[in-house]
Structure 1
Amino acid sequence: MPPAGTPAGTPAGTPGETKPAAPAAPAAPAVPEKTETLDTDSVAYTFTTRGAGIAKALLKKHEAEHGTRMTLNEFGDMPIGSVTDLPGQISNVAFHYATDLPAGVITFEGSDERGLHLTKKFNVPKSTNLNKDYIVTMRLVFDNRSKQPITVPAYYVNTGSAAPVHQKDRIDYTGFKWPGAKFVDVTWFSGGMFKKEHGTYTATHEGIPWAAVADQYFTTIVTPQVDSENKDTPSKERGNSVWATRFQISDDVWKATSHDADGSSSARYGIEGALGMPGFTLAPGQMQVQIFHIYTGPREYGRLKTMPDGQVEVLAFSDFGGIFSFLGPFVGFFSKVLLYSLNSLHAWVGSYAIAIIIITLLIKAILWPMQNKATKAAKRMQALSPKMTEVREKFQDDPQKMNAEVMKLYKEYGVNPLAGCWPAFIQMPIFFGFYNMLGKAVELRNAKFLWVQDLSQPDTVFHLPGLDFPVNILPIFMAATMVWQMKASPKTGDPQQQKIMMIMPLIFVLFCYNYASALALYLTVNNLVSVVQLYATRNQALPTLQKLPKKK
C-alpha cells in the first residue's frame, strides 16, 4: 500500500534476470511498533503492526541449537505476509489491530492518503490435522473509501526470509523456489570467474501458484487461493512475478540468537523473497478480496505432498546441480522412493538408523545377481591378467598396437571388460538419490544412533585441541570399510589404475566428512555387505579361460 503518488513497482524480467536492489530504506511507521503472539500446538506466531505480518514463527516441535526452538524469519527484515508496492520495502501505513485469541484471529487495518483502506485478517490453525497444521490463512480486503477511482499497482506479498540452521549447514540449501523454476540458492547471487554478481533475482510468469523461501529443513510458502468472492476477476487468483535477494548475517547477530560460531571467515547468508500479484482499479466504494495460505513449517515430504498446488516441489529433489545435473530426473525419482521407504520402515521399526540399514540391505539383495555376475567377470579378467601383462610389456613402445592386441585378447577369450562396471553404474543414481534425500530429510533431525546424536549432522565426538578440527567417526570408519572392500575385490586392469583407485576412500571421506552422518552410515553398511558378498564368492573356482572357436 504505497502513499499517494508512489510509482508502481518495477517490472520483473525473464527468469534469472537481475534488477538493482530497492534504493531506499523502509519508511518508519507513523506509530510505534506493537506485537502480539498467537499460539497453536505447533507454532507460536508473533505478529507485528510493522507491515501487518508475521514477524517470527517459533516451531515448538523442532529444535535449533542448545535446546532452543526453531524460529523462522529469525534474521529477515520483512514480516511474512506483509504487502508492499516495492519488494523488500515496508510502507509507512500505520496499522491498528484487534485480536480474538480464543478463535485464533488477529485483524489489522490501515489506510493511505488516497483513501485506500486495507484489512488483513489472519486465522491461525486450531487443528493439528496434517493438511492444516502450520498453515495460516490471510484474508486481504482492499476497500476504496474515497470518492475517486483508485488504481492499485502490482503489489508484492512477502515470504519472509530463510537462513541456515547451523554454522556448517550446506550453503546451497538456503534459497528461493517457485514452481517450474530451479531452486535459487544464495550462491546464485555471487560473482565469479564465469558469472557476474547479482543483486536480486526476478522473474515473470502468468499464474504462479506459490513462492517460497527455504533452508535445509524448513520453509515458508505463500500460496494465493481461489477466492469465491473474486469469480469475476480470476486473474487475481495467482501471482505473476517473483522477487528474491540475499543478505549477510553478521557474527554478532548470529551469536545473539544462540547460534554457535566457529570464527570461520566464510560469509553466512540468508534469503528473502516475495510473490508479485497483478494490479487492479477500484471504483468508489468497491472492494477487492484476495486470500492466501501461509505455510511456516518443516520441509516434510508427507506433509507437503498433501498440499494441493504442488508445494512438495519446494524440496527440489530434481534440482541436482553441477556436472551431474543431467541425472536430475533420475535422482529426484530415487530420492522420493527412498524417502517414502525410509518413513515407512521408520513407522515399523521406530529408528531411522535401522531403517537406513534395512534399505541398504534390500538394495544389495536386489542387486546381488548382477553383483555376483560382475564378480565372476572380474575374476575372468584376473585370470587373463598375465596374458595382458605380456602384451603390455611386448608393445610398451607402441600404445596403438598394444590396445589393439588387448582388445584381440578380450575377443578371443570372450571377456567383457565392462561387465564388472554395471553394478557401479546402476548404483550411481541410487547413491546420489541417498545423498540428495538425506541432505533434505527433516525427519532425520535429532534422530540418534549409538554415539550419533543427530543423523542429519556430522557425528562429531570431539574437536582436536587448539585446532578446532572436528573428529567425525563414521566417515573414517566408512573409508576403512571401502579400503577393505577394494583389498578383497579381484585385481583387474592396469596396476597403475589400481593405485589411482586407492584414492577413492579419501575422496569419499572429503565428500561425507561434514555432511549428514546418515550418508556415511549408508555407505558403511553398503561396503560391509559388499565385503561379505566378496568373501562368500571368493572360494568359487577361478574360471579356466579357453579361446572361443573362430567364426567360419
Structure 2
Amino acid sequence: MAELQNPNQQSGRQNVHTILALSLVFFLALLGVQAFQQKKPVESKSKPSSTVIPAAPNTLVAAAQANQESMKASSESEIIVENKFYRIRFSNRGGQVLSWILKQYTDDSGKPLDLVNQRAASLHGYPLSLYTQKAGLTKQLAEALYEPSSSGRLVAPGKLTFTYSEGGVSVIKTFTFDQSYIVGADILVTDHGMPVAASLCWPSGLGDQETLQNYNVDGRFDASLNGKFVSQTVKSITTGVVQAGSYDYAGVSDLYFAAIFLPEHSTKTTVLNLRNEISIPRTNGQTHSALSDVVSVPGVAVGNGEGHIRLRLFAGPKAIELLSSVHALAPDGSLTGPDLEPLVRFGLLRIVAKPLFLALNWIHVHLVHSWGWAILILTLFINLVLMPTRIKSMRSQLKMQHIQPQINAIRARFKDCKMGDPHLLEMNKEIFDLQKKEGINVFGGMLPLLLQMPLLYGFYRMLQNVIELRHAEWLWLHDLSSLDPLHVLPVFFVVTMFLLQLLTPSSGTDPVQRKMMALVLPVLGFFMTWKVGAGLALYWSFGNVISIVQQVVVSRMRPVG
C-alpha cells in the first residue's frame, strides 16, 4: 500500500498501473459488498401506535448517522393531518405546526378554535419546534426546510416524518396520529453523528386566549413532578430555567384547554419554562386600536438531555372524562401513571366540586339535555337535602324572635354594668337559661351555614372551570360560562336577596344594623353576579328563590310556647 499512500515515491507507467489495479480491486470489492447487502431481507415497517412512536432508538440513531449528506427540501410546503377531533397544519419549514384546529370547538367569534396563538407564535415560535442550548442551532432548525415523508393531506391513523441534514447537523422528526387528541413524537438531533440535547417546544401559549384576564390569570404551567401535581401562574414563571426531574407530564394550559407533553422516560426528563411577552389590543376584537397591553404567555420545552426524545402530546379540551383517560407512563411502561384530571382547577375542595359536576353531568345526560336546566335541578336537589337543617335553623330564629322581649328585659336590668363587670356573667347566664328553657340551640343556627359553605365554594369552582358550560346556551343566555349580556340575573338576584332579607326573622339583631344588612347584602350580591359567569349567577339566584319559599313556609309555623 506504500504506492497509494505516497504516490510521489514511484514514477512513470508503473505508478499509473499500480493505481489502476488497486482501483479496480477496490471497485470490485465495493460491488461485492453491495450485492451482499441487497440479499439481506428488508425489515418490515413497524405498525403505528396511538401512544408510542414505532421507530426504535438504535434504528433512528443509525439512520441519523448514515444521513450525513445534505438533505433538505427545495421549497416550503404544507401538510394537513386530521381526524375527527383536530386538523393540524404542518409546515416543512422547521417541521412545526402552523395551526391546530379543534373541530368540535369554536372561539368567541364563532370561528373554529385554533390552539396556536398566532400573535405569539409569529414572534416566539410555533408548536413542535426544537430548542437547543445553542441559539444559532435552534434558529437553524426552526428555519430549515425539512423533507416530509408525505404531502398534501394525511388522515389519521398515520405517520409523518420530517428529515433534514446539512453541515453535519441531522434531524429526524417523526409524528404518529390516531383517532384521539394525542400525538406521538420521536425526535433525534445529531451533530456529526453525535446526539444533541434538544427539546420539543410549545412556546407561545394557547390560541383561545383573547382577553387581558385570559393571559394574566388563566395562563399556567402545569406538571406532575414525582407524582405530585404542580401549577404556576404565568406571572410566577422564571423564563429560561431548565429543571431536571421525574416529570410524569408537563405543559401549558389556560381555563379550558391544554397542551401537555407526556415523556416516555419520566426520570430523565428536562423541562424548560418559558414566559414570553406580546402586545394585545386593549379593545378586544379591534386590532386597529392604538392602545395595547403587554401580556405574558406561558411556554414549555420538554426533552431528556440526551438528544433522542420520545413522548406523547395531548393538545385539546380540559374535559374531565377525557383527561381522566389520559395517563402518563408508569415505571413498568404501562399507561397507568398519573392522569391529567388535576388540570381542571377545582381547588382545595376538589372532593366536593368533582362529585357536584358528576351529578350535574348525569342530570344533563339522562334528564334534560340542557346545562341551564341541569343547574336548576341540581340547585333544587341540594336545597332539598339541606332543608331539614335550614328549617331547624329558621324555627330557632322564630323562637328567638318570640322570646326577644324577655331578653331585652334581662339586658335592661344590667344596662348600667360596664365592660368587665362580673354582673355581666350573671346576665349572660340568665339569657342562656332562658334559651335553654325554650329549647333554643344558639349554635344550631350555624349548622346550615357550615354545611352550605363547602357546597357553595365547590359549586363556584365547578361552574367556573368546567369546559362543558363554555358556549352552552339556555333561554336568552348564549354562554353559561360568560357574563349575562342583558344583566337579567344580577337584577333578579338583588330583588330576591332583598325579599329574603325582609322575610328573615331579626333574632335580636339591632334594627339599624338589620336595615343596613338588608341593603348591603343585595348590593354586594349584585356586583358578585355581575362579574361571574351566567351559570353561577343562575345557581345563586335560584337558590334565593328556594330560600324565600322555605322562609314563607316556616314563618307560618308558630314556635312552641
Measured against the shorter chain, the TM-score band is: 0.7 to 0.9
CA distance in 2 between counterparts of 1:201 and 1:406 reads 64
Cross-structure match for 1:68: 111
Q: Residue 221 of structure 2 contacts residue 251 of structure 2 at CA under 8 Å; is this kept in 1?
A: yes
Q: In 2, Cα distance between the equivalents of 1:428 and 1:224? A: 40
Which residue of 110, 113, 125 maps to 2:164?
A: 110
Aligned to 1:409: 431
Is 2:73 the partner of 1:58? no
SS at match of 2:316: strand
- Aligned equivalents of 2:133 and 2:318: distance in 1? 28
Query: What's 1:467 paired with?
Result: none
Code of the aligned partner of 2:280: S
Match of 2:183 among 131, 136, 146: 136
Who is 1:420 aligned against? 445
Distance 2:293 2:303 in 1: 33
Q: Quick check: 1:107–1:119 contact (8 Å CA) kept in 2?
A: yes
Matches within 5 A, 1:466-477: 472-477=487-492
**Which one has a bigger Cα radius of gyration?**
2
CA shift in 2, pair 1:242/1:337, >3 Å: farther
Amino acid at match of 1:338: L
Query: Superposed, which structure 2 residues align to 1:138-287 within 5 Å?
Result: 138-142=185-189, 146=193, 150=194, 152-153=196-197, 155=199, 157-158=201-202, 160-162=204-206, 165-167=209-211, 171-179=216-224, 180-186=228-234, 188-189=235-236, 200=239, 202=241, 204=243, 206-225=245-264, 235-236=267-268, 239-251=269-281, 259=285, 267=293, 269-280=295-306
Letter in 2 for 1:490: P
2:340 aligned partner, one-letter code: Q
Q: Residues 33-59 of structure 1, C-alpha deviation per residue, up to 9 Å, x if partnerless?
A: 654332322212122344422232111
Contact 1:58-1:70 within 8 A present in 2 as well? yes
- 2:113/2:208 contact within 8 Å kept: no
1:506 maps onto 2:523 in alignment? yes
The one of the two structures with greater contact order (alpha-carbon pairs below 8 A, sep at least 6) is 1
Q: What are the within-5 Å matches in structure 2 for residues 351-362 of structure 1?
A: 351-362=370-381
User: Secondary structure of 2:507's match?
Assistant: coil
User: For the structure 1 residues 263 and 387, does the alpha-carbon distance in structure 2 shift closer, same or farther, using more than 3 Å as the test?
Assistant: farther
Please say if 1:316 is aligned against 2:345: yes
Percent identical = 23
| Contiguous gaps of at least 5 residues in structure 2 | 1-71, 329-338
SS of residue paired to 1:46: strand
Shift of 1:498: 2.6
Per-residue CA deviation, residues 508-538 of structure 1 (Å, 9 max, x unaligned), is 2222213210001111111111111111111
Residues 428/265 of structure 1: CA separation in 2 closer, same or farther (3 Å cut): farther
Alpha-carbon displacement from aligned partner over 1:182-227 (angstroms, at most 9, x marks no partner)? 43223x34xxxxxxxx65385735210111212221111111135x
* TM-score, scaled relative to structure 1: 0.74
Q: Deviations over 1:484-508 (max 9, x none)?
A: 2221111124325434533122222
CA shift, 1:364, in A, is: 0.8
Alignment partner of 1:395 out of 399, 405, 415: 415
Q: Give 1:332's aligned amino acid.
A: R
- Report deviation, 1:457: 0.7
TM-score of the pair, normalised by structure 2: 0.73
Tell me if structure 1 keeps the 8 A contact 2:79–2:90. yes
Determine the structure 2 residue equivalent to 1:382: 401
Alignment RMSD: 3.2
State the distance in 1 between where 2:188 and 2:483 align: 48
Among 147, 150, 164, which residue is 1:97 paired with?
A: 147
Is 2:473 the counterpart of 1:448?
yes
Partner of 2:177: 124
The answer as to 2:549 corresponding to 1:532 is: yes
In structure 1, give the amino acid aligned to 2:127.
Answer: I
Aligned length in residues: 456
Contact 2:274/2:299 (<8 A) preserved: yes
Are 1:163 and 1:270, in contact at CA under 8 Å, matched by a contact in 2?
no
Any conservation in 2 of the 1:159–1:211 contact (CA below 8 Å)? no
**Cα offsets for 1:98-137 (capped at 9, x unmatched):** 2262554332122464x34221112233x2xxxx2x2222
- Stretches of structure 1 that go unaligned for 5 or more consecutive residues are 1-28, 190-197, 227-233, 281-287, 319-327, 462-471, 545-552
1:161 partner letter: G
Distance 1:513 1:91 in 2: 47
